[in-house]
Amino acid sequence: MGLERKMWRGMFTPGEVVELRQMCFTPGRVFEPGKYIAGELPDIAFEMGLVEQLPPVKGKNAQIEDSETLSKDEY
């Protein structure tokens, strides 16, 4: 039997950006997979284990460049 990792809303700060791994259906809304602020997602998404923490970003944000913005001379 595999180990089950339990997540709950209390593991995340309300303003933390998290990743919703699968679609989450609620009576009022359908949440598509993607990045959300933890406070925006319903409790059931956490209880079902659909939410993951994002890995920490290494380095300063100013040093991270989008590869699409690099000119051809920089390759």
pLDDT in tens, 23-71: 999 999 999 999 999 999 999 999 888 999 888 776 655 444 444 444 4
Q: Give helix then strand counts, H and E, for the chain.
A: 1, 5
Task: Identify the burial level of 24 via C-beta atoms within 10 angstroms of its C-beta, where 0-12 means exposed, 13-18 middle and 19 or more buried.
Answer: buried
Is there a domain that residue 17 lies in? yes
Domain tally, the chain: 1
Is there a domain that residue 37 lies in? yes
Is there a domain that residue 74 lies in? no
Is there a domain that residue 18 lies in? yes
pLDDT attached to residue 56: 77
Q: Which residues pair with 36 in a beta bridge?
A: 18
* Residue 41: domain span: 11-56
The beta-strand segments (E) located in the chain are: 17-20, 24-25, 30-31, 34-37, 51-53
Is there a domain that residue 68 lies in? no
pLDDT attached to residue 68: 41
pLDDT attached to residue 1: 56
Is there a domain that residue 20 lies in? yes
Q: Say if pTM beats, i.e. exceeds, 0.75.
A: no
